[in-house]
């Protein structure tokens, strides 16, 4: 087999991989991207899990299901809508069109940048050679000066709940139900479970989420998590904490789930069951053993701060390396790897990675939580402002939640931003930029925000850190004391 030579070969065309390939091409390199993804019609498709069966289709369904809820409750706004019904096939067609538009857009970007799309399964061989086994069985060997590994991740499977056709499914299967299940069970009440549960609950399912952990949303700020649990429960999501699944059984009546909680052994029956307990890196079959690529105990590729592996000129980015499995984190790593290969200085600030849960209300955060600051002994001040006191949120009919800003008690530098409420996926960028630029809460307080806007809540949270919010009657006692101490100093 003759070998093809490239400056860079990227294995994987999810967000981390395709962005790495594009940035390498922008920097003047000859690039090939090897990707094995096939859609439901066995047609190759770029974008990986995120664009095909993850971030993008789930957001399309979340948006449509929220529109249905708004339409059915439009009377509260003076709009009389009669006979509002769900057309699930049309909803799914919209989702597929969104996916097709975006995956097709990545293909166009590849053509525009001269990137060779190799539709095959890629495997790293010694000396930066990549074996590409095409779907028809033909094999190519690609030689590269540099290799970037970006194979992504796959859903974790549970031995006690093996996947079964459309009865027990993973997150991808949950995006393609042919009808609304009357009773839907979900194992896992994390980001994926909550988003999928929200979709189908809005469409009419009775949803039960079984979460093994005793505490809800342990990765989020505790105050945000408590507020979120209250809102989700009021919406009709049945979230059972401390529920450890023991086994499942498919019967004529549905899927029987045995689990154990603080009250002992329990059982529930649902029509369909979603397994949403996290994801694992796709490293199986990624490399030949003789390459001696180093993995950690969890199967992640070991990398340094610039995503270099233990092999010369071989990089790994995205879900296959340490850090949160988030598309935007992988994209930034892809850019960093490309620019490092080009001899430029590049880095990713892993301390300020935004996280979002696209429920209603939305949840978002970046930086340190109060719990982390307390555990590390950092003295801080907290400012909280509710959306209920924001004019734009009231006009939108979405006044639930709040924004919290945490700042260093000595320097006033912003250390963390946490929020639950309307459009927090967009608002969290304010917090990320503030922390990236080293802003203080006073810097934010002295900045002018448009009125009326949701962003004013961020402004008022900064004012609350200083003990002087303008649109609540009295600031918290701790904030008043901190403001007084600051003034006296």
132 with 175, same domain: the answer is no
User: Pick the catalytic residue: 231, 345, 451, 471?
Assistant: 451
Is the pLDDT at 397 greater than 50? The verdict is yes
Question: Which CATH number do you get for residue 22?
Answer: 3.50.50.60
- Of 341, 363, 392, which residue sits at a domain end? 341
Write out pLDDT tens, residues 161-215. Answer: 999 988 999 999 999 999 999 999 999 999 999 999 999 999 999 999 999 999 9
Residue 347 lies in a domain: no
Residue 348 lies in a domain: no
- Of 319, 341, 363, which residue sits at a domain end? 341
326 with 445, same domain: the answer is no
Residue 386 lies in a domain: yes
Model confidence at 59, pLDDT cuts 50, 70, 90, reads: very high
What is the spatial distance between Cα 457 and Cα 476, in angstroms, rounded to a whole number? 16
pLDDT score for 481: 55
Residue 349 lies in a domain: no
Write out pLDDT tens, residues 401-410. Answer: 999 999 999 9
Question: Which CATH number do you get for residue 420?
Answer: 3.30.390.30
232 with 259, same domain: the answer is yes
pLDDT score for 489: 42
25 with 143, same domain: the answer is yes
146 with 19, same domain: the answer is yes
140 with 272, same domain: the answer is no
326 with 359, same domain: the answer is no
Write out pLDDT tens, residues 118-153. Answer: 999 999 999 999 999 998 899 999 999 999 999 999
Question: Is 451 tagged catalytic?
Answer: yes
Residue among 420, 459, 424, 418 nearest 441 (CA) = 459
> Exposed/middle/buried for 431, CB within 10 Å: 0-12, 13-18, 19+?
buried
Residue 246 lies in a domain: yes
374 with 473, same domain: the answer is yes
Write out pLDDT tens, residues 440-472. Answer: 999 999 999 999 999 999 999 999 999 999 999
Mean of pLDDT values over 82-108:
96
DSSP string, 164-221: BTTTEE-HHHHT--SS--SEEEEE--SHHHHHHHHHHHHTT-EEEEEESSSSSSTTS-
Mean of pLDDT values over 274-285:
97
181 with 206, same domain: the answer is yes
Residue 321 lies in a domain: yes
Mean of pLDDT values over 243-253:
95
259 with 309, same domain: the answer is no
Model confidence at 488, pLDDT cuts 50, 70, 90, reads: very low
User: How many domains, the chain?
Assistant: 3
| CA angle (425, 427, 428) in 5-degree steps | 70
DSSP label of 134: E
pTM of the full structure: 0.94
- Of 277, 307, 330, which residue sits at a domain end? 277
Q: In which domain, by residue range, is 21 found?
A: 3-155+280-341
With residue 140 as reference, give the H or E element that holds it: strand 139-149
Residue 160 lies in a domain: no
380 with 442, same domain: the answer is yes
Residue 350 lies in a domain: no
211 with 140, same domain: the answer is no
What is the spatial distance between Cα 419 and Cα 398, in angstroms, rounded to a whole number? 14
CB 35 within 8 A of CB 60: no
């Amino acid at each position: 087999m003759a070998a093809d030579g490239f400056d860079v070969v990227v294995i994987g065309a999810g967000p981390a991989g395709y962005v790495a390939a594009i940035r390498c091409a922008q920097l003047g390199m000859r690039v090939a991207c090897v990707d094995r993804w096939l859609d439901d019609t066995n047609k190759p498709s770029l974008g990986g899990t995120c664009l095909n069966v993850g971030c993008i289709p789930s957001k399309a369904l979340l948006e449509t299901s929220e529109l249905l809820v708004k339409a059915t409750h439009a009377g509260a706004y003076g709009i009389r809508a009669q006979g509002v019904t769900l057309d699930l096939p049309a909803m799914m067609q919209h989702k597929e069109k969104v996916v097709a538009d975006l995956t097709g857009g990545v293909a166009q970007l590849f053509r525009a940048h001269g990137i060779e799309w190799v539709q095959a399964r890629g495997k790293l061989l010694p000396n930066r050679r990549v074996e590409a086994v095409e779907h028809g069985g033909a094999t190519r060997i690609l030689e590269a000066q540099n290799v970037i590994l970006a194979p992504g991740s796959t859903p974790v499977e549970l031995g006690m709940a093996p996947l079964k056709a459309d009865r027990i499914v993973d997150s991808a299967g949950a995006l393609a139900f042919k009808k609304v299940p009357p009773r839907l069970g979900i194992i896992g009440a994390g980001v994926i479970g909550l988003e999928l549960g929200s979709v189908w609950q809005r469409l009419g399912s009775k949803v039960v989420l079984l979460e093994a952990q005793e505490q809800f949303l342990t990765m989020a700020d505790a105050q945000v998590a408590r507020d979120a649990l209250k809102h989700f429960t009021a919406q009709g999501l049945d979230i059972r904490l401390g529920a450890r699944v023991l086994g499942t059984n498919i019967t004529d009546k549905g899927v029987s789930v045995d689990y154990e909680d603080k009250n002992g052994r329990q059982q529930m029956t649902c029509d369909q069951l979603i397994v949403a307990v996290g994801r694992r890196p796709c490293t199986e079959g990624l490399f030949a053993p003789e390459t001696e690529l180093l993995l950690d105990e969890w199967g992640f590729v070991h990398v340094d701060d610039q995503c270099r592996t233990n092999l010369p000129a071989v990089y790994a980015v995205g879900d296959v390396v340490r850090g949160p499995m988030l598309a935007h984190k992988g994209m930034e790593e892809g850019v960093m790897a490309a620019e490092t290969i080009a001899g430029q200085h590049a880095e990713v600030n892993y301390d300020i990675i935004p996280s979002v849960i696209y429920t209603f209300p939305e949840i978002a955060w970046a930086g340190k939580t109060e719990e982390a600051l307390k555990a590390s002994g950092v003295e801080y001040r907290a400012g909280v402002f509710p959306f209920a006191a924001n004019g734009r949120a009231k006009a939108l009919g979405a006044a639930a939640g709040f924004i919290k800003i945490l700042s260093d008690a000595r320097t006033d530098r912003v250390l963390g931003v946490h929020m639950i409420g309307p459009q927090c996926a967009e608002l969290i960028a304010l917090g990320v930029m503030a922390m990236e630029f080293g802003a203080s809460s006073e810097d934010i307080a002295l900045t002018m925000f448009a009125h009326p806007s949701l962003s004013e809540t961020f402004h008022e949270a900064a004012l609350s850190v200083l003990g002087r919010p303008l649109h609540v009657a009295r600031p918290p006692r701790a904030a008043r004391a901190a403001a007084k101490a600051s003034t006296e100093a």
